[in-house]
A and B are shown apart, each in its own frame.
Chain A
C-alpha cells in the first residue's frame, strides 16, 4: 500500500514538474521569439558634434534643415563601410547592414521628411531591421533591376495622400511610389525608402562633398537577446565613441528573460528537493514497516548487499513507474492547458524538445529514486535479524 503511495507521490511530483517545465519552457520560447523580433537588433552610429569638421557629415547645403541623423533627432557622422567587416566578425553579431538616413526639406512646400537607403547587397539584415516585403500594405517591394522608385511609409503616405503610382519629390527629382509599407515599429524606419544608388545620388545633390563608400548608421542583429548587450558594447568599441541603441528597452528585457530563467530554475530546485525528501521519507517508512520481512530474508541467507540492492531496486522501480505515469499526466496536462490558452506550439517542440525534456525529468526522477533509497537501503542492510526476530 505504501508503495502505491510512493508511486503516487512520484506521479504527482513528476506530473507537476513536467507540466510546469513544459509551460515555462514554452513561455520562455515565446518571450524569446517576441523579444528577438526586435530586441536583438540595434542601431550603431557615431553622433556628430557641431564643432567637428563638417566633412564628417558631408557638408549639407542646408545644415539647419537637412543632414544625416538617427531617431529621434540625433545628427550623425558618416562612417566608412569598411567597418562592416569588423562588426560582422564580432561573435555575438549575427548580421549587419549599412543604412543611410537623411533628412530632406521638400522644395515645394518646405516640409521635412526622411529618406532611408535600402542596400540590396545586405538584404538579410536590412529586411529584418528595416523593411521587408512582409511590411507591404499595397503595391510591390523592390525588385532586381529597379531604379528611381520608392516605397513610402503609410503614415507619410496618409499625411500627403500618396498611393501606389503617386510620385514624391526628392531634391529636384520625381520618384514613383511602387509600394506602401506598414508603420509598425521597426529597428529603423524612414518616411521614404530608396534603393541605395538612388539614395546616394539624391543625397549627393544636397551635400558639399559627395558620399564615399559610407553609411551613417549600421543596422546590427545580435545572436539573441542575451547576446545583444555584449554585441552592443563591442560594436561601440569598433565605432570609437559610437553609440548603439536598441529600439526596445534592452536591459529590462534581458532582466525579464533572466527572471524567467531564474523562476524556472527555482521552481525546479524546490520541487526536486521536496521530491527527494518525500521519496526518502516514503522509503524510510517502507523500510521501517518491513523490518520483520528484511530480518526474515537475512535469516534465510540474504546478504546485506542483496538487501541493499533490493531496496534500491524497489526505490528505482517506484520512481520509474511514478515518473513515467507522471510524465504522461504532465504532458497531457501541458497540452490541455496550452491548447485551452490558444497557444500554438511548434511541431519541433512537440516531437523533439518536449520529449527530451520529459526524458531528462524522468532520468532525474530515477536519480532521485536512487538517492532516496540510499539511506533506507543502508538502514535495511544493517538490520539485525536476531534482534528483530527476538522481539516478535
Chain B
C-alpha cells in the first residue's frame, strides 16, 4: 500500500541579514492512513515549521513531499489552498478561531468559496458541532465559550471537511488533562477507523502511548524513537 504522505530529504532554512539559519535538513518519513505519528522535540526545534510545510502553508528549502503519491512541493499557492480545503485538516495550539465569527460561522468558513450552497454549509457545520456537543453554542462567539468548547469548535472546523490528513500542533498544549482527554477522544476514532492519518507535533504533553510511531526532531535531524 502506498503511504498517504511521504516526505523525502525535506529541509528548511531561513535567511536573516545575510545569514542562513537551518531549521532542519534531510527529514524523511512516511505516514499511512490509520496511523498517528507523534513528532516530539523541544520548543523551537521546528515542529510547527514542519507541519507548516506539510500543509503547504510554507515552502520547503529542499526535498519533496508526496501526498497521495503526488508531489505537492511544486504546486501553486492556489493548488495548495485547494489541497488544504479538500484533504488536510489543521488544529492549532491556540485554536485560531476567528474572534468576530460565531462557532457555526467558524466551522462553515472551511466550506466557503468551494461551490457549496449556504444551506448545505450550515447543515454540515451544525451537524458536526452537535456531534461534538456544542448544539447550544452554535451562535456564540469564541470569547463566549470555555477553552474546551473553543477547542471543540476548532476540531469541528477541522473535521467538517472529512480530511484524510490531520495536522495537529500541540492540540493538548493549552488545556487541562480532562479537556486534553476529550480532544483525543474526538480525534482518534477518525484515525483508528482508518479514515485519516494524523501527525501531532508536541513537546511532551501528548500521550505517546496513543501514537502509532514517535519521531523526535533534535538539532535539525529527525529520528525515530522507540516507544
A302 touches B98 (CB 8 A): no
From B48, B84, B97, B100, give the contact of A390 (CB < 8 A): B48
State which of A52-60, A71-79, A253-261, A290-298 sits at the interface with chain B.
Answer: A290-298
Q: Digitize A351-392: 1 where CB-to-B-CB distance is under 8 Å, 0 elsewhere.
A: 000000000000000000000000000000000111001101
A306 closest partner in B (C-beta): B113
Chain B contacts for A390, CB-based, 8 A: 48-49, 52
Chain B contacts for A304, CB-based, 8 A: 77-78, 81
B81 touches A386 (CB 8 A): no
If the complex has contacts A299-B55, A301-B85, are A306 and B112 also in contact, measured as CB distance less than 8 A? yes
Chain A contacts for B49, CB-based, 8 A: 386, 390
Chain A contacts for B90, CB-based, 8 A: 299-300
In the complex, whether A205 has a CB less than 8 A from a CB of chain B is no
B73 to chain A, nearest CB (A): 14
- Chain B stretch 42-87: residues in CB contact (< 8 A) with chain A: 48-49, 52, 55, 57-58, 77-78, 81-86
Chain B contacts for A296, CB-based, 8 A: 96-98
How far is B104's CA from A121's CA once the two chains are assembled, in angstroms? Answer: 81
In the complex, whether A33 has a CB less than 8 A from a CB of chain B is no
In the complex, whether A305 has a CB less than 8 A from a CB of chain B is yes
From A301, A305, A389, give the contact of B96 (CB < 8 A): A389
B96 touches A303 (CB 8 A): no
In the complex, whether B29 has a CB less than 8 A from a CB of chain A is no
Chain A contacts for B143, CB-based, 8 A: none
B101 closest partner in A (C-beta): A293
B84 touches A301 (CB 8 A): yes
A300 touches B94 (CB 8 A): no
Q: Digitize A300-319: 1 where CB-to-B-CB distance is under 8 Å, 0 elsewhere.
A: 11111110000000000000
Give the interface residue-count category, chain B. Answer: 20 to 34
A299 touches B109 (CB 8 A): no
From B85, B96, B97, give the contact of A302 (CB < 8 A): B85
B110 touches A301 (CB 8 A): yes
Chain A contacts for B77, CB-based, 8 A: 303-304
5 contacts between A and B (CB under 8 A): A296-B97, A297-B109, A299-B92, A302-B81, A304-B78
How far is B58's CA from A299's CA once the two chains are assembled, in angstroms? Answer: 10
From B48, B78, B110, give the contact of A300 (CB < 8 A): B110
A303 touches B113 (CB 8 A): yes
A300 touches B92 (CB 8 A): no
Chain A contacts for B203, CB-based, 8 A: none
Chain A contacts for B57, CB-based, 8 A: 298-299, 385-386, 389
Chain A contacts for B96, CB-based, 8 A: 292, 296, 299, 389, 392
In the complex, whether B121 has a CB less than 8 A from a CB of chain A is no
Chain B contacts for A303, CB-based, 8 A: 77-78, 81-82, 113
B181 to chain A, nearest CB (A): 25
How far is B78's CA from A296's CA once the two chains are assembled, in angstroms? Answer: 15
Chain A contacts for B161, CB-based, 8 A: 301
- Chain A stretch 273-296: residues in CB contact (< 8 A) with chain B: 292-293, 296
B209 to chain A, nearest CB (A): 29
A302 touches B113 (CB 8 A): yes
B72 to chain A, nearest CB (A): 14
* Residue among A299, A300, A389 facing the most chain B CB atoms (10 A cut-off): A300
Chain A contacts for B114, CB-based, 8 A: 301
How far is B78's CA from A385's CA once the two chains are assembled, in angstroms? Answer: 13
How far is B114's CA from A217's CA once the two chains are assembled, in angstroms? Answer: 79
A301 touches B157 (CB 8 A): no
How far is B77's CA from A293's CA once the two chains are assembled, in angstroms? Answer: 18
How far is B96's CA from A385's CA once the two chains are assembled, in angstroms? Answer: 12
A135 to chain B, nearest CB (A): 70
B201 to chain A, nearest CB (A): 13
A300 touches B52 (CB 8 A): no
B113 closest partner in A (C-beta): A306
B53 closest partner in A (C-beta): A386
B96 closest partner in A (C-beta): A296
A300 touches B113 (CB 8 A): no
Chain B contacts for A386, CB-based, 8 A: 49, 52, 57-58
Top-8 shortest CB links A-B: A301-B85, A386-B58, A306-B113, A301-B84, A386-B57, A303-B81, A386-B52, A296-B96
B90 closest partner in A (C-beta): A299
